[in-house]
Each structure stands twice: as structure tokens, then as C-alpha cells.
Amino acid sequence: GLGVEVYKGKFTQNLNTMGHVALEGFYLVVYQNSNYGMQVCDHVIRPEMEASFDLLDFSKAQKLFDIGYEKGKIWAKNFVENE
């Protein structure tokens, strides 16, 4: 199968508050889950992401989908041509 990874992890050394520690733990769980999912894919697309994207900013969900979709179309065209 084909996987699209649009979240590459956002890790910080700022662990000064319980909120930062909890958020970092959440990011690590998402990162590990994503890593597992990518390992079971035959092909993975990892588009470049803008630094402004944040895992918890759902207002950018459509933009993330569009990035993966456009990169997927390019991959599919190249994959079909090379088969």
C-alpha cells in the first residue's frame, strides 16, 4: 500500500511545565504510531511541510490533505510510468 506522512514530529527541549511535558508525550505517541504505520506500507510519500503546521491545528487539515493528495498524484504518475 501507499502511505502519506505529513507529520514529521515536533520535538522540543522546553519541558519546564507539566503542560509542555504532556504535549511532548502526546507528540511522541503520534510519532511512534505514524512510524509503525509507515513500516507496513510498500511505498511512502513524505512531502515537505511548512514550519507553520501544527498537529493540533485542525484549521489546516484541508491544506494537509491537499498536500498529500497532490504529491500522491505525482507519485502515481511516476509509479505507473515505471511499471
Phi, psi values for residue 20, rounded to 5°? -65, -40
Query: What amino acid is encoded at 82 in this protein?
Result: N
Global confidence as pTM = 0.58
Residue range 2-13, pLDDT digits in tens: 888 766 556 667
Residue range 4-37, pLDDT digits in tens: 876 655 666 778 889 888 888 887 888 888 888 8
CB-based contact 1:42 (threshold 8 Å): yes
CB-based contact 44:38 (threshold 8 Å): yes
CA pair distance 17, 37, nearest whole angstrom: 31
The alpha carbon of 56 is separated from its chain's Cα centroid by a whole number of angstroms, namely: 12
